[in-house]
Structure 1
Amino acid sequence: MTKRTVETLCREVDNMVNNLLHLSRHRFVLWLAAQKKLLTKDRMADMGIGYDKAACVLCDQDGPEDHTHLFVDCEWSKAVWSGIEQWLGVQVPQVEANMVLQFIQNKHWCRMKKEVIAVVHGARIYFIWQARNWKIFKGITVNTSSIVQQIQFIVRGRIEMFIDTKQARKCIGYLEALCN
Structure 2
Amino acid sequence: MVKWYEQGVCPNNKWEIFNGSKLQLIVRGPRKMRIAEFIWNKISQPRHRFIIWLAVQGRLLTKDRLRRMTISMDNTSCSLCDAQIVETQKHLFSNCVWTRGIITEMSQWSGMLIPTGDVKQVLEKIKRENWKQLKKEITAALWASVVYHVWQARNWKLYRGAKMTIGTTVT
Q: Same fold (TM over 0.5)?
A: yes
Name 1:138's counterpart in structure 2: 160
Match for residue 93 of structure 1 among 111, 115, 125? 115
Q: How do 1:5-84 residues align onto structure 2 when only pairs under 5 Å count?
A: 12-51=34-73, 54-84=76-106
Q: In the alignment, which residue of structure 2 is the partner of 1:177? A: none
Q: Which amino acid aligns with 1:36?
A: G
Alignment partners' CA distance in 2, 1:141 and 1:126: 19
Distance in 1 between the 2:119 and 2:75 partners? 21
> Could you list the per-position Cα deviations for residues 8-28 of structure 1 after superposition, in whole angstroms to 9, with x for gaps in the alignment?
xxx622011010011111001
SS in 1 for 2:82: coil
Structure 2 CA distance for partners of 1:38 and 1:62, relative to 1, 3 Å: same
The range that moved more, 53-62 or 96-105, is: 53-62
| Identical amino acids, percent of aligned pairs | 36
Q: Does structure 2 retain, via aligned residues, the 8 Å contact 1:16–1:118?
A: yes
Unaligned stretches of 5+ residues in structure 1? 1-10, 148-180
TM-score by length of 1: 0.70
> What is the distance in 1 between the residues matched to 2:163 and 2:53?
25
Shift of residue 90 of structure 1? 3.3
Residues 83-162 of structure 1 correspond to what in structure 2 (within 5 A)?
83-146=105-168
Q: Separation in 2 of the partners of 1:91 and 1:120?
A: 10
Alignment: residue pair count: 138
Offset from partner CA, 1:138-159 (integer Å, 9 cap, x none): 2344443256xxxxxxxxxxxx
In the alignment, is the contact (CA less than 8 A) between 1:101 and 1:118 conserved in 2?
A: yes
- Alpha-carbon RMSD across the aligned residues, in angstroms, is 1.9
Any idea what SS the aligned residue of 1:145 has? coil
Note if contact 1:12-1:101 (Cα within 8 Å) is conserved in structure 2: no
CA distance in structure 2 between the aligned counterparts of 1:68 and 1:76, rounded to whole angstroms: 13
Contact preservation (8 Å) 1:134, 1:141:
no
Render the CA deviation track for 1:122-171: whole Å, top value 9, x for unaligned: 00000000000000112344443256xxxxxxxxxxxxxxxxxxxxxxxx
State the alpha-carbon separation in 1 of the partners of residues 48 and 66 from structure 2. 22
Asked which structure has the greater CA Rg, the reply is 2
Q: Which runs of 5+ in 2 are unaligned?
A: 1-32
The 8 Å contact of residues 42 and 53 in structure 1, kept in 2 or not, is answered as no
Give the counterpart letter for 1:71 in structure 2.
F
Q: Does the residue aligned with 2:42 lie in a helix, a strand or coil?
A: coil
1:45·1:53 contact (CA, 8 Å) conserved in 2? no
